[in-house]
């Protein structure tokens, strides 16, 4: 999928599950299909989140294909940033590990959003607390 960055007035690569697009479109995001060349997995940044679902903390493991500045946020389903996990530079080829502590948040579905250069990756996380 491609995401329209309204501040830059351009389309950017976006890694969003097609099942999540409808929720983002409700919040004003625009998506469209990309040229297949833009989706080459060998040139894409990677994100892995585990465990998911989780009850207290979850691990976010990232690797990047180029040196760049990134911002990693956890956002609510209504598009609010509830936690900025990291903002800074990363080096290509090096794995990065972050932990999100959800103990101060309500059970529910949240999104991990990674913005880097021309790419935005979004993954759904499920916080399930035993109440």
The domain locations on the chain are 45-127
| DSSP SS3 for 9 | coil
Q: What is the DSSP letter of 54?
A: B
Report which of residues 17 and 42 the model is more confident about.
17
User: pLDDT tens digit string along 4-16?
Assistant: 555 554 555 555 6
Architecture of domain 45-127: Sandwich (2.60)
User: pLDDT tens digit string along 28-59?
Assistant: 565 555 544 433 344 457 888 999 999 999 99
CA dist., res. 30 & res. 105, Å (int): 28
Q: What does the angle CA 80 – CA 123 – CA 52 come to, to the nearest 5 degrees?
A: 105
Predicted TM-score (pTM) of the model is 0.67
């Amino acid at each position: 999928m491609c995401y329209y960055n309204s501040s830059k007035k351009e389309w950017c690569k976006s890694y969003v599950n097609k099942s999540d697009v409808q929720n983002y479109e409700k919040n004003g995001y625009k998506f469209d299909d990309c040229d297949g060349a833009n989706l080459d997995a060998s040139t894409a940044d990677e994100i892995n989140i585990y465990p998911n679902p989780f009850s207290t903390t979850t691990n976010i493991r990232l690797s990047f294909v180029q040196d760049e500045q990134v911002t990693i946020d956890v956002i609510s389903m209504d598009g609010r940033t509830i936690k900025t996990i990291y903002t800074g530079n990363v080096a290509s080829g090096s794995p990065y590990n972050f932990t999100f502590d959800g103990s101060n948040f309500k059970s529910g579905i949240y999104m991990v959003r990674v913005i880097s250069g021309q790419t935005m990756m979004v993954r759904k996380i499920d916080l399930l607390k035993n109440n």
